[in-house]
Structure formats: C-alpha cells, structure tokens
Amino acid sequence: MRYREINDRDTLQLYVDTLKKEERTSLAVDLEGEFNLHVYGERLCLIQVYDGREAVIIDPLKIEQDALPLLLEDEKLLKVMWDASSDISLLVNGYGMTIKSVLDLRPAADLLEFDKKDYSSVLGKMLGVETKAKKKFQRYNWLKRPIDEEALEYAIDDVLHIPALKKELLERLYAAGQLEEFYHRNLIVQNRNYKRTPGQRHKKMKGYRYLNKREQELLKRLFNLRDTHARRLNLPPHNVIANPELMELSRRSLAPERVNFARRMRDSDRRQIVKELQQELQHDRS
C-alpha cells in the first residue's frame, strides 16, 4: 500500500499549506495509541490521514511534538473521525493539545439505531466493506519501531473508507430527519471538557461503588502505591497488581504475599511491593 510519511515540522507545514491551497480541507483522521497495555502510561503512537488523494502517516515518536497542532488544531481543516472522544482525551491529558473542527461519525450509529455500533460493523452494513483483522491488532504494540507493514496497512485502511462512509451516513441521517441532531451531538463531542481530575482514576474501577467508605480510602492509597511502582518499572499498572486483586486487597480478602505479580518483575521488586502493601494495610487498622 502506498502512503507518504511525515516525520518533521517543515514537511507537515508544507502538507497543511498544500491542502489549503488545493482546497482539500476535509480529512479522514485516526490515531493509534498505547494505553497502559505494554508499558506504563498513555502515549500517542501514530496519526493516519487520508485527504481524498493519498494516505499519510505521521509518526509522533519522530516528529517534533509541538508540530502536531499545525494539523490537529487547525480550525480550517475538518477532521472526519470515528469515535473521536478517546483520541481527544489522550491529546488533552497527555500532550496539552486537542483536535479542532471534528466531525465524529460515531453518533450517527446511535441516531440510526444500528444493532452493532462499532466501526467495522457500520462499515460493513453501509458499504459492504470488510476491514482488516481488527482483533489481530487490538493488542498490537504501536510503540514498536519499525511498525510491521501489515499493521500499517491495517491503520491506513481505517481512514481510507471514512469519506465514503461519511457520505452514506449523512444521506441516511438527512432522509431520517436526524441531521440537525447529529450536528448537535457533534458540538457536544467538540465542546466536552476532556481534562481529567487528578487522583480520581481509582473511582472508575469495577466494583468501586460497592466498597464502603473505609475500603474506598484504602483502595485509593493502594492504587497510588501501584501507580508509583508501575511508573518506576515502566510496566502497565495491571501487570504490577491486577485490578481484581487490588479490589480484594482493599476488602482485606487477599493477603499481600498472595498477590500474583508479573513474571517479568524481579524478586526484589515483588518483595518491596509486598512490604509496602503490608504497611498500608497495617496503617489502615490503626
């Protein structure tokens, strides 16, 4: 598959200028990221663009970080996306930037009451297109360089069909009298406050609301303890202590020495974490 790579500020600026000069201001855009799956933290790994003529790959690991707003925050370039919220959240919270002028096609699946609302299913229903094996790349390490050619084809394939999908969805929304509501929901996507409140991530854990107040406070401390070590070891937090075990620890239904740690952790790290867990539980008793 042919595509162009952009890995520096000057080339990106030239690309943006050329798009505007040629009045090609509607772009299909998608992002690939790392979300605490292979290493600690969330990171932007790849930006795919299709401008109607050519596919473009922008490598955030190579290009100057402050160059990305040249494309992403340019209000004159419409970015047509699918389910943009998680991508915007990643940029806002991890990089202090956002994506402006977004047309998110995802609300159309709700308004048109499709049985299956994921991108692959909607694409198949509307265009009869089968996307490349998504499951194969759901756990792909997008931090890996060089990126496998098959993975790049999968990433590019996601944006190639967006212009045609946009046309079909807008026509169907218009016929159903839902176009105005679709644009309204897009304004909500664009104007939402994506900034996360620090120190609240533990509240999103499954089972949190069933804990009593004391258990919730203990969970918060254990969550922060795990996060500190995950950052230090550059491991996904769930590889340090799995979420279900963290909940069990907070309920005191699991002893620290019975925690199942990742195999790639050193014995010395395991012992240190167990010691600190014991101290937290002892502190909670006092």
Task: For residue range 106-143, list pLDDT tens digits in order.
Answer: 999 999 999 999 999 999 999 998 876 677 888 999 99
Domain ranges of the chain: 4-191, 201-285
Other beta carbons within 10 Å of 232: 12
Task: For residue range 243-284, list pLDDT tens digits in order.
Answer: 999 999 999 999 999 999 988 899 999 999 999 999 999 886
Q: Which pLDDT score, from 0 to 100, does residue 1 have?
A: 66
Distance CA 29, CA 79 (A): 6
Q: Which pLDDT score, from 0 to 100, does residue 133 have?
A: 67
For the chain, counts of helices (H) and of strands (E) = 13, 6
Q: Which pLDDT score, from 0 to 100, does residue 208 have?
A: 97
| Residue at token pair 């790392």 | 34
Q: Kindly state the average pLDDT of the residues 29-41.
A: 96
Q: Which pLDDT score, from 0 to 100, does residue 212 have?
A: 96
DSSP category for residue 203? G
CB within 8 Å of 203: residues ≥ 6 apart: none
Radius of gyration, CA atoms only, the chain: 22
Task: For residue range 39-49, list pLDDT tens digits in order.
Answer: 999 999 999 99
Are the CB atoms for 54 and 46 separated by under 8 Å? Answer: no
Distance CA 127, CA 76 (A): 28
Q: What's the pTM?
A: 0.92
Residue type at position 267: D
Q: Kindly state the average pLDDT of the residues 24-28.
A: 96
Q: Which pLDDT score, from 0 to 100, does residue 188 have?
A: 96
- Give the helix ranges, DSSP H, for the chain: 9-21, 69-72, 85-95, 106-111, 119-127, 134-137, 149-160, 162-175, 179-191, 213-233, 237-240, 243-251, 267-285
Q: What is the mean pLDDT of the chain?
A: 95
Task: For residue range 175-195, list pLDDT tens digits in order.
Answer: 999 999 999 999 999 999 999
Q: Which pLDDT score, from 0 to 100, does residue 263 have?
A: 84
Residue 155: which of 42, 9, 29 has the closest Cα?
29
Task: For residue range 98-114, list pLDDT tens digits in order.
Answer: 999 999 999 999 999 99
Q: Is the peptide bond before 237 cis (omega within 30 degrees of 0)?
A: no
Are the CB atoms for 274 and 253 separated by under 8 Å? Answer: no
Region 4-191: CATH code:
3.30.420.10
Residue 280: which of 234, 259, 257, 249 has the closest Cα?
249
Are the CB atoms for 198 and 133 separated by under 8 Å? Answer: no
Q: Kindly state the average pLDDT of the residues 232-239.
A: 95
Are the CB atoms for 73 and 97 separated by under 8 Å? Answer: yes
Ramachandran region, residue 55 (left: φ > 0; alpha: ψ -120 to 50; beta: rest)? beta
Fold of 201-285: DNA polymerase; domain 1 (1.10.150)
Percent of the chain with pLDDT over 90: 92
